[in-house]
Amino acid sequence: MSPQSPERILIVQLADIGDLILSTPALAALREARPDAHLALLTSAHAAPVVQGMALVDEIFTFDRQAFNSSKSLLKPANLRRLFRLGHFDTVVFLHHFTLRLGTFKFALIALAAQSRRRVGVDNGNGWFLTDRLPDDGFGALHQAQYWLNLVGLLGADSSPRPAVVAKEVPSPLRPEDEGNQPLVLSQQPGTRNSELTIALHAGSGGYSRARRWDAASFAAVANALHHEYGAQIVLVGGKGDDTAAVQAALTVPALDISGQTTLPQLAGVLSQADLFIGADSGVMHLAAAVGTPVVALFGPSNADAWGPWTPGGRSVIVRSGVECSPCSYVGHGIGLREGCAARTCMRLVTPERVLQAARAVLDGNGSAGEDFSASPAASGLSQRIRILGVPVDAITYEQWLARIGEWVSLPRRVGEQGEGFAHHVCTVNPEFIMIAQRDPNFFNILNRAGLCVPDGVGLLWAARHRGRPLPERVTGSDGVPKIAERAAQRGWRLFFLGAAPGVADKAADVLRQKYPGLQVVGVYGGSPAPEEEDRIVERINAANADILFVAYGAPEQDKWIARNLPRLHVAMAMGVGGSFDFIAGVVPRAPLWMQRAGLEWLFRLYLQPWRFKRMLRLPRFVLAVLRQPV
| pLDDT for the residue 386 | 95
What pLDDT, in 10s, does the model give residues 206-255?
Answer: 777 889 999 999 999 999 999 999 999 999 999 988 999 999 999 999 99
| pLDDT for the residue 189 | 39
Q: Which of 139-143, 207-211, 566-570 has the least mean pLDDT?
A: 207-211
How far is 516 from 510, CA to CA, in rounded Å? Answer: 10
Highest mean pLDDT among 309-318, 415-424, 536-545: 536-545
Band (178; pLDDT cuts 50, 70, 90): very low
Cβ atoms of residues 288 and 311 within 8 Å: no
Least Cα distance to 257 among 287, 289, 223 occurs for: 223
How many CA atoms within 13 Å lie on the side-chain side of 593?
Answer: 0
Q: What single string gives the DSSP state of each residue in 405-448? A: HHHHHHSPP-TTSSSSSS-EEEEEE-HHHHHHHHH-HHHHHHHH
Band (183; pLDDT cuts 50, 70, 90): very low
Alpha helices (H) in 468-578, listed in sequence order: 477-491, 504-515, 534-543, 557-565
Taking the C-alpha atoms of 139, 141, 142 and 143 in order, what is their torsion angle to the nearest 10 degrees? 50
- Provide the strand spans (E) within 327-423: 329-331, 334-336, 371-373, 385-388, 391-394
| Length of the chain counted residue by residue | 631
Q: Which of 235-249, 355-369, 424-438, 521-535 has the least mean pLDDT?
A: 355-369
Q: What single string gives the DSSP state of each residue in 84-116? A: HTS---SEEEE-S---SHHHHHHHHHHHHHHT-
pLDDT at residue 327 tops 90: yes
Kind of pairing between the strands at 295-299 and 316-320? parallel
Cβ atoms of residues 540 and 534 within 8 Å: no
pLDDT at residue 578 tops 60: yes
* Neighbour tally for 70: CB within 10 Å: 13
The rounded Cα 17 to chain-centroid distance in angstroms is 19
| Average pLDDT along the chain | 89
Q: Which of 93-107, 524-538, 568-582 has the least mean pLDDT?
A: 93-107
| pLDDT for the residue 182 | 47
Band (612; pLDDT cuts 50, 70, 90): low
pLDDT at residue 186 tops 70: no
| pLDDT for the residue 374 | 59
What pLDDT, in 10s, does the model give residues 484-521?
Answer: 999 999 999 999 999 999 999 999 999 999 999 999 99
How far is 531 from 346, CA to CA, in rounded Å? Answer: 12
Cβ atoms of residues 547 and 573 within 8 Å: yes
Band (535; pLDDT cuts 50, 70, 90): very high
Cβ atoms of residues 495 and 544 within 8 Å: no
How far is 82 from 74, CA to CA, in rounded Å? Answer: 10
Element (H, E) at 60: strand 59-63
pLDDT at residue 524 tops 50: yes
Degrees to nearest 5, angle at CA 398 with 397 and 399: 90
Q: What percent of the chain has pLDDT over 70?
A: 86
pLDDT at residue 257 tops 70: yes
Element (H, E) at 530: none
Highest mean pLDDT among 2-16, 102-116, 154-168, 419-433: 154-168
**Residue 531 DSSP code:** G
The rounded Cα 12 to chain-centroid distance in angstroms is 25
Q: What percent of the chain has pLDDT over 90?
A: 75
| pLDDT for the residue 206 | 73
Band (592; pLDDT cuts 50, 70, 90): confident
What pLDDT, in 10s, does the model give residues 50-85?
Answer: 999 999 999 999 987 666 666 566 667 777 777 788
pLDDT at residue 453 tops 50: yes
How far is 119 from 9, CA to CA, in rounded Å? Answer: 10
Degrees to nearest 5, angle at CA 467 with 464 and 469: 55
**Residues 286-294: what's their mean pLDDT?**
97
Element (H, E) at 57: none
pTM: 0.88
The residue ranking higher by pLDDT, 381 or 449, is 449
**Domains of the chain and any CATH numbers:** 8-155 (3.40.50.2000), 198-373 (3.40.50.2000), 394-603 (3.40.50)
Q: What is the largest CA-CA distance in the chain?
A: 92
pLDDT at residue 376 tops 80: no
Highest mean pLDDT among 40-44, 237-241, 585-589: 40-44
Cβ atoms of residues 561 and 553 within 8 Å: yes
